Amino acid sequence: MQTLPVFITKILDFFYDITILRLPKVRGLVSRQFFRYGACGSANMVLDWVLYFLIYNFVIGHDLVYVSLPFITLSSLDNFIISSFDICLTPHIATLCIVFPITLFTGFWLNRYVTFTGSTLRGRKQLFRYVLIVFINLLVNYLGLKLLVDICGLYPTPSKMLITLITVAISYFGQKYFSFRK
């Protein structure tokens, strides 16, 4: 599993060396780590956008999604009742629920093994902190989609792209100074 991150890192460092290092005015502004973060984040963002577009248009199909969630209630001390709680998701929110776990995993993997390799925190702690930052971003995504699609009437895919640009800043500083700090 370590050969893939090393391979990705070598490719990113090659492009850093032939682009950023040759630009003296940019070299002081863009560290190798920031370049790796930008490249990995961009790849994960494009994956997110492509998956969102494909699932929204070809899997969900612009239809409402009805989900029945089971839950158990206690009717007496020894009697349980299994019931269900039905919810209806709009297509853009249902798509977000499908895409989210995929990009959560790929983003953590890239950040841990390619971008923030110098962190001394344990993997479980990194993952927990990473998930906290991602859930903040998920909340921003949810509220942003509700605002832009449901209230403002904008198209879902461009709305998602706009919201992603906002969450990039939240994510970088959260991951650098909280999830993967040294």
Q: What is the C-alpha separation between 92 and 130, in angstroms, rounded?
A: 24
Number of domains in the chain: 1
Q: According to the model, what pLDDT value does residue 77 have?
A: 65
In the prediction, which pLDDT does 76 show? 66
The pLDDT score that the predictor gives to residue 81 is: 76
8 φ, ψ (degrees, to nearest 5): -60, -45
Residue 179: predicted pLDDT? 92
What's the rounded Cα separation, in Å, for the pair 158 and 135?
A: 21
CB 115 within 8 A of CB 13: no
pLDDT score at 136:
93
State which residues form the domain around 27: 3-179
Give the pLDDT score at 24.
83
The DSSP element (H or E) to which 126 belongs, if any, is helix 123-145
The mean pLDDT values, 10 residues at a time, for the chain of 182 residues are: 89 94 86 93 93 95 89 72 87 92 94 91 92 91 93 93 87 90 80
Residue 22 DSSP one-character state: G
pTM: 0.76
